[in-house]
Amino acid sequence: MTPALAQVCSLSSPFSDDIADYAAGHCHAIEIWLGKLETFLHTHSTDDVRRLLDKHQVAAATASYQGGVLTSQGQRREQSWAHFRQRLALARQLKIRTLVLACDTLGPVDQQALDRASGSLSEAARLAEEHQVRLALEFQARAAFGNNLQTAVAMVAAADSAWLGICLDAFHFYCGPSKLADLQLLTPQNLFHVQVCDLAGHLRELATDADRILPGDGDLPLSPIVDRLRQIDYDGFVSVELMNPQIWQVPARQFGEIAMTAVRKLLGQASMD
């Protein structure tokens, strides 16, 4: 397992500063926040991105996230899929192996919607294969369906593509209807990416992304997730992902040092001090 930091944790910091500051805090893998990357590319090239990553010896572990693909319709669908294709091409150019795909199915559940989501997921996997970029489906705790690990695994299995797997987000796992027993459904073949965080003093049913804090600072039982990762010899990335406006105010270098210590402790790895 390789610890990583998601750029969204320092949303107020410029793209290039994140990389330099996180690297200074002994972080050698980042989860790219696509919105930041696209803003950076308004005035820079993909070659500039590669040089920046190489200079600081930082790997682009994965990219987050793409929404609007599964059940959108009409003009919104056209826009979402056009953006999706652009992002797959960008990921391929930058040799980003995995792109997180949100299971953002928030509308009413009926058979037509289920069929649309299933067909869209299969088509997304085919498109990902064309670009040689893996898709990691992230189930969403508040989604109308696809809100738990068991269903997400079933959706991935039904698509039957080696280019489609699971993104396990600890927040959505514990705040949605997933069960600890569902972790047994994770395998080296279907688990593509892992995101960790914690919660403190919040009812899980009411918790929001803004309540995320560093792993180990709250009440979530994260050890069962780590235990399962060890059981299946997971060798991918485990990134700290927080969308907390208070944490956004912390300088990226300071945050990077603290967050890397937290995730290494969670994974039972020695610090880099």
Question: pLDDT of 78-112, one tens digit each?
Answer: 999 999 999 999 999 999 999 999 999 887 788 88
pTM: 0.95
Question: Comparing 160-164, 190-194, 248-252, 268-272, which segment has the lowest mean pLDDT?
Answer: 268-272
Q: How far apart are CA 239 and CA 237, in angstroms?
A: 6
- In tens, the pLDDT along 121-138 reads 999 999 999 999 999 999
Rounded to 10 degrees, what is the CA torsion of 61, 53, 32, 194? 20
Tokens for 247, please give them: 């944490």
Level-2 CATH architecture, domain 2-267 = Alpha-Beta Barrel (3.20)
CB atoms within 10 A of CB 38: 14
Amino acid at 16: S
